[in-house]
Amino acid sequence: MTGAAVSVCLPVYNGEPFVRDAVASVLAQTFTDYELIVVDDASDDRTLSIIDEFSDPRIRVYRNTQRLGVPANWNRALQIASAPYVCVFHQDDVMRVDNLARKVACLERDRAVVWVHSGVDVMATGTAPREFSVAALESSPADFVADGRQYFRTLLLRGNRVVAPTVVAQREAVLDAGAFTASLHFACDYELWMKLSLCGQVAFIRDPLVAYRWHAANATHALAPVALDEIRRAGYGATAFFRARGGIAETADALEEAFAVTHEARRWLDEIEADRNFVRDRHAKLEAALAERQAPDAPSPRPSR
C-alpha cells in the first residue's frame, strides 16, 4: 500500500500475550488512511501467526533474520515507513478509536506542529515489580500547543513526560532529528522527543487516547539498572543537538549545567529510594524471624496405637 497519510509502525518481539489487542485497536481506528507496518525482531513465539490471522491490505509484515534490539528495530520500521506522519506503536498497548483522527487533525491544523502526544490510561496488571509513576506523565490540565524550544527545556530539566506510543509526528522531522539513537535502549525515545522539540512546535491532547499496559514484561523493568546513565547521555545528546541547531553557546552552557544539577539530584533520590527499600526489606525479614522464634512449638504428633 502506498500513499497513506500515516505509517503506524509496530515493532514486535515475542508479543504473543497482547499483540492481537494492539493490532485490532489500530484496525478499529475511525481514521482509515494509514498503513500498518509490522517489523518482527526474530520472535520465537506465535507473534507472527497471530498477526497473520488479520486480513487487511493495510498491513505489511517484515521479519528480521536476527534480533536488532529495541531502538534499531524501531528505526528499521521508520525506514520502511513512507507516509508523511508516523506513529511508533507498542505491541502491548491499545489505541482508542479516535486516536489517529484527533492527532492527524492537530498536525494538519497547524503545520508548525511537528509532533503531538496525548494522555494515557494506565492498565496495570499487578505483575509489574513496581508501581507506575504518574509523575512521569504530562500533567497539563488542558490541551496545548507549545513553543518547541520551551518544551525542550521542560523535558530536559523536568524529565520525560511523554509516553512513546502516544506520539504521532512528521516523518521528515523524525528522520531529520536522527531517529532513535541505537546505543540508547532505555532513553532513546526521551532523547528523540527533546530533539524533535527543537524542530518545531509541540502539541498535547489531554484526553487519554492510548491505553498503556504496565506489566512484568515491560522492557522498562529490565533496563532499570542503566536508566540513570542513559538519561544522562540523552540529555547531553539533546543539548549537543541544540548547539548544532543554532542554539546560543551561552544558553547551551547554562542548560547543560542545569541538566547536570538536576540529574545529580535524580541520582541522589534514586540512592535514597534504594536505601529505603533495603531498610524496609531488612526490617521485614527481622520481623519475620522474630515472629518465628516467638511462635509456640507445634504440638508433637500423638503416638499411634
pLDDT tens column, 54-79: 999 999 999 999 999 999 999 999 99
Average pLDDT over the chain, rounded to whole?
88
In a domain, residue 126? The reply is yes
Q: What is the pLDDT of residue 305?
A: 47
CATH number of the domain within which 117 lies: 3.90.550.10
Which positions ≥6 away from 12 have C-beta within 8 Å? 19, 38, 39, 40, 41, 43, 47, 51, 91
The residue written with cell numbers 547554562 in the block is 254
CA distance 53 to 172: 32
Amino acid at 236: Y
Confidence of residue 220 (pLDDT cuts 50, 70, 90): low
In a domain, residue 207? The reply is yes
In a domain, residue 264? The reply is no
Q: How far is CA 196 from the centre of its chain?
A: 15
In a domain, residue 53? The reply is yes
CA distance 181 to 196: 13
144-168, pLDDT tens digit by residue? 999 999 999 999 999 999 999 999 9
74-108, pLDDT tens digit by residue? 999 999 999 999 999 999 999 999 999 999 999 99
In a domain, residue 265? The reply is no
Q: What is the value of pTM for the model shown?
A: 0.84
Number of folded domains that form the chain? 1
